Amino acid sequence: MELGIPSKLPSNYFCKTLTASDTSTHGGLSVPRRAAEKVLPPLSQLLLGICLANRPQTVMPVSVLSSDSMHIGLLEAAVHAAATNSCFTLF
């Protein structure tokens, strides 16, 4: 809380350094179960997702894509969707 204004940041969070093994070929990523149960709402209440149609499309040759750029693209899409109150899907 700063100057009597409640923070918009969540009070529960976790940090994880992502590695290539944390992602799937379908664009999902793994999260430790304890962290997910502590921070995320139950799946029946989860109304978030990544709408690929809303993402700005950038054409890149497949040879240029790396696991790092794919991670950044996924995180960027999630942040953009949250900032614009758009829906997105978690796999």
Mean residue pLDDT of the chain comes to: 65
Report yes or no: 36 and 14 within 8 Å, Cβ to Cβ.
no
Distance CA 19, CA 39 (A): 20
9-45 pLDDT, tens digit per residue, is 556 777 777 777 777 777 677 777 888 788 777 766 6
For the chain, the structural domain boundaries read 20-89
Which of 30, 35, 50, 40 is CA-nearest to residue 90?
Answer: 50
- In angstroms, the CA 55 to CA 77 distance is 6
